[in-house]
Amino acid sequence: MGFGSIRRAQDAYHVGYGRYAADFDQLGFAVQGGSRQSANAIRGVRYSYTMTQPWGDESYYCVASGDIDDDAFLDIAVLEAGRP
């Protein structure tokens, strides 16, 4: 899982349903090498992902966080679409 696959899945969901998915379950993501914390949170091998819709179903906000380069600093990336 990565931002590319999340973005592609959200784009396809939006085309099919006219709105963005609210969580990973709606996108059909299976957890491989990690664990599902909830429908909106997945702990992956390198990153932990959370997804929300703070501006309604015409948007989504996904945050990935983790220490991917072993430097003791948290690395954070944000993916969003449809923000007003």
Distance CA(39)–CA(74), nearest Å, equals 23
| Higher-scoring residue by pLDDT: 35, 60 | 60
Whose tokens are 């091998």? That residue is 45
Where residue 33 falls among pLDDT bands split at 50, 70, 90?
Answer: confident
| Model confidence, pTM | 0.84
Mean pLDDT of 6-10: 93
Closest CA to 84 of 45, 49, 51, 57: 57
Which two structure tokens, joined as six digits, stand for 32?
């491989």
Percent of the chain with pLDDT over 70: 98
Residues 36, 39, 42, 48, CA torsion sign: negative
Distance CA(15)–CA(6), nearest Å, equals 14
Looking at this protein, which amino acid is placed at residue 53?
A: Q
Which two structure tokens, joined as six digits, stand for 54?
């703070």
What is the pLDDT, as a whole number, of residue 2?
Answer: 81
How many Å separate Cα 33 from the centre of its chain?
Answer: 16
